[in-house]
Each structure stands twice: as structure tokens, then as C-alpha cells.
Amino acid sequence: MSATQPINNNAQQAANQVINLVQEALGGQLTQYRPVSFRYQVVPGGVNYFIKVLVTTNQQGSQYVHLRVGVPTNQIGSLNGMELNRQLADPISYIYIKQCPVQG
């Protein structure tokens, strides 16, 4: 897996593709959704992005979440994992598929 780096266009696009699933998992309307950093893993057929996102909902307030977004080559990404209640200083690490509260 790559080193952690600031968000770039590819990671931003991957995060944007799963915004509705993140909103569903958090159970409320998102008032903020801002990817801040990411790591990636090249796999046969695509890329796994591990993305730290600052999210805010009216129900839960603000928190960082870590997302695992699988993006097959030339296709739309899917939310394959999610960790809630993370902090800005928490390192982005591997997220297993079973940790995702919703499937996309």
C-alpha cells in the first residue's frame, strides 16, 4: 500500500462515487463531506483507495471516517469498507470488507 498523501483528483473522484452509501451508513443528511488524505493499493483489475473523509451530519456532528473504495479499471467505484469515529491523526490502514455498515 502507498504512503499517505493529500487528496488528489483520482481519490476525490473515488470518494464522490460512494457519497450516497456513506450518507446511508451514517443515517442522516451529510452537511459536509471532505476527503482529506488517502492511500492506495494497486490490485489486479483496478485500485483500492483508502480515504480519510471529514463528514458532518445534523444527527451525529462531525467525525472522520476511513473508507475503502474499490475502483475497477474504467468502472464506477464501490464502498467496500468503512471505519467510523476516526481522528485526523489516526493513520489510514487496511480496511477489511466486513467492516462496511452498508454494501454498495
Domain of 70, CATH number, reads 3.10.450
Total domains, the chain: 1
Task: Note whether residue 45 is domain-resident.
Answer: yes
Residue 36 falls within a domain, yes or no? Answer: yes
83 CB neighbour count, 10 Å cutoff: 20
- Asked if the structure places residue 33 within a domain, the reply is yes
- What is the value of pTM for the model shown? 0.90
Mind listing the pLDDT tens digit for each residue in 18-60?
999 999 988 888 999 999 999 999 999 999 999 999 999 887 7
**Assigned domain for 62 exists:** yes
- Give domain status of residue 18, yes or no: yes
Instruction: Tell whether 104 is covered by a domain.
Output: no
Full domain range(s) for residue 16: 5-99
40 vs 102, more confident:
40
